[in-house]
């Protein structure tokens, strides 16, 4: 009986050690996933009109960003560990609920909210969505500054998807968070969104077709 126990204990320990090593290796190979946080996130939509520039704001960007295993953001370094041919292998999906974007105008902001929601065909299309297809690092990177990329991806507004490209910056925040910032220029008519043209002032009043979606998006590493 003692012999059986003597043999069984080391075998079991060996099996546990092997499982531990396998798990560690698997973790090392697993992609690094960052999940959207509800704090320190701001999205602004800025536009023009023949009368006045306007802006709407929201605090929700949902979704995630997933990088290939081994990617580390250390702004003290000249480059990013895990970079291949100057590009980061990444998957990203960002969603912005349209009704969470509000005007902060002093007067009747709900009118502006409603106009915008109507133009973007909410509630049929509830979200603005963005998926990244390529992240190319702008080099050289100045140590201490955020990493800057040329991002390519697909932007969906009011059910219409277009390929877009615009610069983004990734800044590590503390040990386990990153902040992604950028500004996406958007032509409303490209998405079937008719720029509001209020029936006022002999029809001279018109919103500009070009708007800018400016965002600061904070994400936290999942199970760091």
Quick check: 193 binds other proteins (CB under 8 A)? no
CB of 138 to other proteins, least distance (A): 29
Among the listed ranges 23-31, 68-76, 154-162, 190-198, the one in contact with other proteins (CB under 8 A) is: 190-198
Nearest to 74 by CA among 159, 145, 149: 145
Residue 36's CB: how many other CB atoms inside 10 A?
A: 19
Which C-beta is closer to other proteins: that of 59 or that of 165? Answer: 59
CB of 152 to other proteins, least distance (A): 24
CB of 102 to other proteins, least distance (A): 6
Sites for other proteins among residues 86-105 (CB under 8 A): 95, 97, 99-100, 102-103, 105
Own/partner pairs for 192-201, CB < 8 Å, 24+ apart?
Answer: 192/158, 192/159, 192/160, 193/119, 193/120, 193/121, 193/157, 193/158, 194/119, 195/119, 196/115, 196/119, 201/51
Instruction: Supply φ then ψ for residue 128, to 5 degrees.
Output: -90, 130
CB of 116 to other proteins, least distance (A): 9
Phi-psi region at 70: left, alpha or beta (left = phi > 0; alpha = psi -120 to 50): left
Which C-beta is closer to other proteins: that of 35 or that of 75? Answer: 35
Quick check: 62 binds other proteins (CB under 8 A)? yes
Quick check: 200 binds other proteins (CB under 8 A)? yes
Query: What is the chain's percent helix, strand, coil content, to nearest 5?
Result: 20, 45, 35
Binder among 16, 19, 20, 52 for other proteins (CB under 8 A): 52
Contact code string over 203-222 relative to other proteins, x by CB under 8 A: --x-----------------
152 to 3, 65, 84, 87: CA distances (angstroms) = 65, 14, 16, 11
Quick check: 71 binds other proteins (CB under 8 A)? no
- Cα gap 106→100, rounded to integer Å: 18
Quick check: 124 binds other proteins (CB under 8 A)? no
Binding site for other proteins (CB under 8 A): 36-39, 49, 51-52, 54, 59-63, 95, 97, 99-100, 102-103, 105-115, 117, 123, 196-201, 205
């Amino acid at each position: 009986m003692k012999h059986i126990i003597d043999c069984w204990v080391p075998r079991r320990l060996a099996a546990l050690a092997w499982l531990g090593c396998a798990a560690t290796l698997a973790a090392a190979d697993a992609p690094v996933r960052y999940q959207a946080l509800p704090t320190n996130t701001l999205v602004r939509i800025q536009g023009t009109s023949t009368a006045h520039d306007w802006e709407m704001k929201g605090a929700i960007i949902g979704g995630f960003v997933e990088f290939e295993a081994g990617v580390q953001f250390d702004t003290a370094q000249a480059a990013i560990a895990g970079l291949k041919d100057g590009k980061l292998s990444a998957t990203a999906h960002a969603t912005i609920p349209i009704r969470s974007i509000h005007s902060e105008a002093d007067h009747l902001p709900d009118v502006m909210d409603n106009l915008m929601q109507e133009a973007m065909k909410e509630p049929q299309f509830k979200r603005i969505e963005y998926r990244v297809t390529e992240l190319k690092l702008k080099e050289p990177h100045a140590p201490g500054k955020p990493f800057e990329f040329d991002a390519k991806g697909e932007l969906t507004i009011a059910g219409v998807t277009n390929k877009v490209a615009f610069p983004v910056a990734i800044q590590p925040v503390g040990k386990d968070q990153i902040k992604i910032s950028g500004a996406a220029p958007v032509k409303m008519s490209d998405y079937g969104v008719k720029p509001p043209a209020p029936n006022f002032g002999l029809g001279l009043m018109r919103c500009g077709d070009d708007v800018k979606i400016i965002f600061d998006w904070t994400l936290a590493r999942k199970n760091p």
